[in-house]
Structure 1
Amino acid sequence: MPSPNQTAPQPATRPRVVIVGAGFGGLAAARTLANAPVEVLLINRTNYHGFWPLLYQVATAGLEPESIAYPVRAILRRYRNANFLLAEVQGVDFTRRCVQTDVGEISYDYLILAAGSTTNFFGNNQIARYALGMKDLDEAQRLRNHVLLCCERAAVESDPTRRAALLTFAVVGGGPTGVELAGAFIELIRHVIRRDYPMLDTRQARVVLIEATNHILASFPESLQHAALQRLRQMGVEVRLQTQVADAHHDGLTFRDGSFLPAATVVWATGVRGAPLADALGVTLGRGARVVVTPHLTLPADERVFVVGDMAYLEGYRPGVAYPMVAPVAIQMGEQAARNIIAQLNHQPMLPFHYIDKGQMATIGRSAAVLDAFGIRLSGWLAWVGWLFVHLIALVGFRNRVLVLLNWAYSYFTYDRGVRLIFGVGAERQPAVVEYDEVNDH
């Protein structure tokens, strides 16, 4: 026993791992570190984790926002070494090992940056001003409000030209997000708007999918690209290939060839870049404003700082091509970064990141999808069932799975959407009214 004048030895403080971002990569890292001899602090600007692959269904009145979001604290409470901080990260002082937030500085021993991505408007302020993005719940709700407001305005519009513009929905980008959103818009027009607004001639309504290249779903095999294109056109989507957008306006889009598309709704579903935090770090950035990392997922000059998910630029998916900005990559990167931290603590060598490609899929409206996984290529109803199963299982929380399943079942059997409410974020936004003379001026 120590003498009265001696101080009893104190337990050593465990290293602190700070994780910035509660997306797929950040949560995967936190889960992997659950039983490690570290203290984990996860910082996020919202108090929830969002399941963004289903964001387009919130935007088209198919799901409630809370169906695809889950409280971060509820996720972390099962891990005794993990805590949560609601804060906006503004930068990092790598010399002092401090994360700078709007509530003060947070020190770290190891840092995992998993702040995700944002819409890339490629420096075009006009497009950023007039096009709607879809990268978080606020933007999805704003888009839903805007679409419903357009229908309300169209219902009382006497000028057929203006009414047609209010019922034109342009989606820029032929990737999975654009394809899924275009299909959802058509379903919304066919099964909801047609019945909710009997005074409207929905034959005037248009969904236009605009792609700069000569094919949609570029990462899919050619046979599935063709199947998706054929399905979209059968549904009534106008697919414009090899069409480049030059500018956006309050009343529509101008293309590089000088033509103009009158449209009150323009959704920018092409172009993604690293989160704005990447610009504030003062490190080397690759394409898409993504942070260049080593194969171990660390900064080249600091092995205690890891970058994962959409923020990380690491080539290796294909020669000269960085890993794609998708959830499976983020999850595997988050897990590998956490394992490499544990390796450092155990004085073992870190292992490089190797991505295990589990395939890809995209849904195309009701009862149709394309699937490319483990050598299996499917399109149609079977692929759609597979898409439903994978996304349902991947949702966080039993309650969310039940809510989403009930919503899907309701929509499937009734051809209806249950979330046709204009409220909250962006409810005050007024859709553009296209003047007849303005259309002719273009």
Structure 2
Amino acid sequence: MAETSNRIVVIGAGFGGLEAAMRLGNSAARVTVVDQRNHHLFQPLLYQVATALLATSEIAWPIRHLLRRYRNIEVLLGTVVGVDKDVKTVLLEDGAVLPFDQLVIATGARHAYFGHDEWEPFAPGLKTLEDATTLRRRILTAFERAEREKDPARRAAWLTFVIVGGGPTGVELAGTIAELARNTLPGDFRNFDPADARVLLVEAGPRVLAAFRPELSDYAAKALARLGVEVLAGQAVTDVSSGKVALGERVIAAETVIWAAGVQASPAAAWLGLPPADRAGRVKVEPDLSVPGYPDIFVIGDTAMVMSEGRPVPGVAPAAKQQGRHVGATLLARLAGDRTPRPFRYRDQGSLATIGRKAAVVDFGWIRFRGGLAWWLWGIAHIFFLIGVRNRLAVALSWLWIHTTGSRSARLITQRDIAQRDPAAEDG
């Protein structure tokens, strides 16, 4: 058994935490990975589950299966509620205490409502599989309710979809919902035409995909318009309630609202008793990704405020993976007796976003693509980063089938959404 000085706890098995744990696999360390879910999630394709393009099993894998070949790693299902950085313990919700010598916090982020958490029941976000299946249920149920609705105004509300936030997630959601309505569902209903659905993308800033070059942002807006998406740039949401969205004085009747604006880091800063580094609540870290004053505690991914060459590192999957590998290498060096701090250097691998079939934007810095070529590059990149040959083949075949036929096989309404009004009770 490893010495107690080698006890390493990794909180979170997302991109960063999983990379750090795998780097420590079969080493002299005794590694414990804690996550409140039993699966690792490929978040970049989560919106495709929400819009019935992919099944949940195609973008998620059991953590135990991914780490089972590493005999020095144990996996615990549990929710962390606190960290004692001086005593070096992690407290779980069920009262269990995990001692550590080195700690890696990779707990990600959730969607943020900018002080209006009361909007969440009416405008769910998209960060987990549960979020995705909730959104899929609401989207598909909206079309089912429209089929039964006799009042034209009420039917229009059921067929209005508002996505708040014009970043990659919002753009991808808007584009694929528009394609669902115009390419997949026509012919399935008798009392209305699904192509009459309105898809509105609301962005408070002056343009969608603000992190991309202006010419790529402009292309994305035009591609969305060709799909029938109404882009409302420069307009901020001022209220969300049951069946309504307010943009200043303008009120839009919409039964389906999706939140894709802003993120809030996990409560890691509160666990550590540190002031948040920014509005998102992230933890400021040293160049080697350790917590100031606590060199044995590392924070990575969306939970950390990481600077590289004077700029914040973006909260994207490649950055989290790079940070996980860096911390894993640092801990391996420490196991060998080398505690020399190693500054993290982020390597920008480019930005990608898809708008719909045969429409995407890719920015590698030195070269930029848009249109069909960018769409193929986007697809190849995402398939490459999936885990396992089976999942790569499954996703590739699903995309090929959908691209060829327009049919989406994952159009399943599962479970009851208690946050929404009960149709049975209403129709009684």
Whether the 8 Å CA contact 1:14–1:39 is kept in 2: the answer is no
Q: Which residue of 1 aligns with 2:312?
A: 322
Q: Which residue of 1 aligns with 2:190?
A: 198
Q: Which residue of 1 aligns with 2:228?
A: 236
Unaligned runs of 5+ in 2: 424-428
Deviations 1:237-287 (A, max 9, x none): 00011001111010121112x111111011110110101344333212111
TM-fit CA distance, 1:323: 1.5
1:334 aligns with 2:330: no
Deviates more, 1:120-129 or 1:207-216: 120-129
Amino acid paired to 2:250: S
C-alpha distance in structure 2 between counterparts of 1:227 and 1:52, whole Å: 25
Q: Percent identity?
A: 41
Q: Which residue of 2 aligns with 1:362?
A: 353
Q: Which residue of 2 aligns with 1:439?
A: none
Normalized against structure 2, the TM-score is what?
0.94
TM-fit CA distance, 1:27: 0.7
C-alpha distance in structure 2 between counterparts of 1:281 and 1:152, whole Å: 47
TM-fit CA distance, 1:201: 2.5
C-alpha distance in structure 1 between counterparts of 2:114 and 2:52, whole Å: 29
Give matches, 1:4-403, under 5 Å. 12-13=3-4, 15-103=6-94, 104-256=96-248, 258-287=249-278, 288-316=280-308, 319=310, 321-345=311-335, 346-373=337-364, 375-403=366-394
C-alpha distance in structure 1 between counterparts of 2:183 and 2:374, whole Å: 22
C-alpha distance in structure 1 between counterparts of 2:75 and 2:30, whole Å: 11
3-state DSSP class of the match of 1:401? helix
Whether the 8 Å CA contact 2:105–2:268 is kept in 1: the answer is no
Residues 98, 88 of structure 1: alpha-carbon distance in 2 compared, 3 angstrom cutoff: same
TM-fit CA distance, 1:315: 2.7
Deviations 1:40-62 (A, max 9, x none): 11111111100010000000011
Larger Rg: 1
C-alpha distance in structure 1 between counterparts of 2:4 and 2:411, whole Å: 52
Give matches, 1:419-438, under 5 Å. 419-424=410-415, 426-430=416-420
Unaligned runs of 5+ in 1: 1-9, 434-442
3-state DSSP class of the match of 2:86? coil
TM-fit CA distance, 1:216: 0.9
Whether the 8 Å CA contact 2:181–2:195 is kept in 1: the answer is no
Deviations 1:44-100 (A, max 9, x none): 111110001000000001111111000111110122221111111111111211110
Normalized against structure 1, the TM-score is what?
0.91
Q: Which residue of 2 aligns with 1:7?
A: none
Whether the 8 Å CA contact 1:187–1:365 is kept in 2: the answer is yes
Whether the 8 Å CA contact 1:194–1:200 is kept in 2: the answer is no
Deviates more, 1:183-192 or 1:303-312: 183-192
C-alpha distance in structure 1 between counterparts of 2:307 and 2:190, whole Å: 53
Deviations 1:289-327 (A, max 9, x none): 11111111111021000000000012336x4x4221110
TM-fit CA distance, 1:172: 0.5
C-alpha distance in structure 2 between counterparts of 1:180 and 1:70, whole Å: 23
Whether the 8 Å CA contact 1:250–1:432 is kept in 2: the answer is no
Q: Report how many residues are paired.
A: 420
C-alpha distance in structure 2 between counterparts of 1:102 and 1:206, whole Å: 43
C-alpha distance in structure 2 between counterparts of 1:384 and 1:244, whole Å: 30
Q: Which residue of 2 aligns with 1:409?
A: 400
TM-fit CA distance, 1:430: 3.6
Deviations 1:353-394 (A, max 9, x none): 110001010011111110112512100111111111110111
TM-fit CA distance, 1:150: 1.0
C-alpha distance in structure 1 between counterparts of 2:394 and 2:246, whole Å: 41
Residues 11, 23 of structure 1: alpha-carbon distance in 2 compared, 3 angstrom cutoff: closer
3-state DSSP class of the match of 1:196? coil
Residues 188, 203 of structure 1: alpha-carbon distance in 2 compared, 3 angstrom cutoff: closer
C-alpha distance in structure 2 between counterparts of 1:74 and 1:129, whole Å: 34
3-state DSSP class of the match of 1:209? strand
Deviates more, 1:339-348 or 1:98-107: 339-348
Residues 298, 154 of structure 1: alpha-carbon distance in 2 compared, 3 angstrom cutoff: same
C-alpha distance in structure 1 between counterparts of 2:68 and 2:365, whole Å: 35
C-alpha distance in structure 1 between counterparts of 2:357 and 2:402, whole Å: 10
3-state DSSP class of the match of 2:27? coil
Amino acid paired to 2:333: A
Residues 12, 143 of structure 1: alpha-carbon distance in 2 compared, 3 angstrom cutoff: closer
RMSD of aligned C-alpha atoms?
1.7
Q: Which residue of 1 aligns with 2:426?
A: none
C-alpha distance in structure 1 between counterparts of 2:314 and 2:243, whole Å: 33
